Amino acid sequence: MSALVRAVAAGSLLAAVAVGVAACGGSAESSEAVAGLVKPCVGKVAVMAPYGGLEEKDSIQMNWARVALDNFNLLHGTSFVIEPANVSYEVGPGIRAAKRLADDMSVVGVVGPQTSGVTEKVGPILDAAGLAYVSPSATRASLTDGTLKGFYRVVPNDDVQGPAIGNFVAKNLAGRNVVVVDNAETYSLGLADSLQKTLEGSGVQVTRLSAPLGTKSYAAQIARIDSSVDVVVLPFLLADEAQRFVDELSAAGRSPKIVGGDSLFVESDFSEAGAYVSSYAPDTRETAAGADLIRLYQTIFGEFSPFGGPAYLAMEVVLTAALATCDRGVASRGGVWMALPTTRLKETILGEPIAFDQRHELVDGTFRIYQIDAGGYRRVG
C-alpha cells in the first residue's frame, strides 16, 4: 500500500489523535486571519509533490500536507480535501498537472511545486488561472523577481542559503581550497552561484565542477579533486545522488570535508557521517508542537522525516487564506489569491511565525547547518 493510500485510509485515526496536537499549542490559534473562527467551509487544495514511488521518501511532502489538512479540518470544523498531483523534479509532468489543476475550478490553491525548476515552468500556467501556489521547498532566488505573480514560499531563498553555507565553510571549517559541484539544473546552479560568490568574497579559492542529474559515474569530476582540496560542497538536487558521489569520492581515497545544500537533508538518503547539510527550517523535533505532531505522523505513516515539515506549513497557509475568505461555506481561488499576502501564522510546528513580504518571500527566514553523526542530524550553525 502506498503512503498516500495509507494516509487516506487513516483519516479516522487522525481525527482521534490530532486532538493532542491542538492541546499542545499547534495550529488552532496560529493565524490572525482565523483566530477564534470556526465555520463550515469546503474547497479543494492541490498538492504538487511526488507520492507512491518505490520508496517511502517519495511521499514525504504529500504525507505532511495531508496531516496538515486533516488537522486543520478537525480544529476548524471545515471539510477541505486534497487534489494530489504526482510531480517531482521533471518539468513535463509538472506542466501537465498544472494545466489540469488550472482547468479544475474546484481547486482553490496549490501546495507546491516541490522544485525550483518545475515552479519556473508551471508558474505562468497557474498565474493565468488565478491559482496561487505556496512552495515548501523551491528556493531559487529569481522565482520572486516579480515574474510569477501567485508564487509564495514558506522557506528562505538561495540568496540566504548561499551565504549561510559559504560563511560556514570559510569561517567554521576554515576552507581555503573548495570545490563546488553543481547538478546543471535550476535549483543547483542558483545555489552554487550564490555560495561561490560568498566564498570568493572571503578570499577562498573555488573550483566549479558540474555533474548533471542522472550522471552514472563521477570519475571525471573526482579526478579533479586532489588532496589539496579541503572542502567539497554539493548543492545537489537529489540526496541519493549526493550519497553516491561521496561514496565514489571515498573509494578514490579522497577525504575532504563534505557540505551539502538543503536538498540533502533527507536522513534515509544522505547519511555520510561527519558531513554537513543546510536546512531551510529547524528540525521539527526541536520544537514542542513539532514533537507532538511527529507522534501523530508516526502513528499514521510508521517512519518519520523532518524534510517535509514546511509542506505542513504551506498547506496551513493556503487553508488559512481559504477559510478567511470563505463565502457562504465555499472557498474560492480568488479568495485565496486575495488573502495570501496578509496571511500570518503566529505559531507553527517549527516554532517560528510565518509572514510574507511584498515579494512573497518569507519574512526573517534563515538557514541552519547540521552535522550528521551517529545520532542523526545535530545542529552546529
pLDDT tens readout for residues 107-150: 999 999 999 999 999 999 999 999 999 999 999 999 999 999 99
pLDDT higher than 50, residue 1: no
In sequence order, which ranges of 11-90 are alpha helices (DSSP H)? 11-17, 19-23, 60-76
Lowest mean pLDDT among 130-144, 194-208, 294-308: 294-308
- Beta strand 177-182 with 368-373: parallel, antiparallel or unpaired? unpaired
Hey, what domains does the chain have and what are their CATH numbers? Answer: 3-155+284-342 (3.40.50.2300), 158-279 (3.40.50.2300)
Question: Which residue from 93, 15, 68, 75 is spatially nearest to 308, judged by alpha carbons?
Answer: 68
- Beta strand 368-373 with 276-279: parallel, antiparallel or unpaired? antiparallel
Q: Which three cell numbers stand for residue 137?
A: 521547498
pLDDT at residue number 377: 82
pLDDT higher than 70, residue 202: yes
pLDDT at residue number 327: 95
Lowest mean pLDDT among 78-92, 199-213, 267-281, 304-318: 304-318
Say how many Å lie between the first and final Cα of the chain, rounded.
39
pLDDT higher than 60, residue 37: no
Confidence category of residue 4, pLDDT binned at 50, 70, 90: very low
Q: Is 22 left (phi over 0), alpha (psi -120 to 50) or beta?
A: alpha
Report the DSSP beta bridge partners of residue 45: 82, 109
pLDDT higher than 70, residue 27: no
Confidence category of residue 257, pLDDT binned at 50, 70, 90: very high
> Regarding predicted confidence, which is higher, 139 or 374?
139
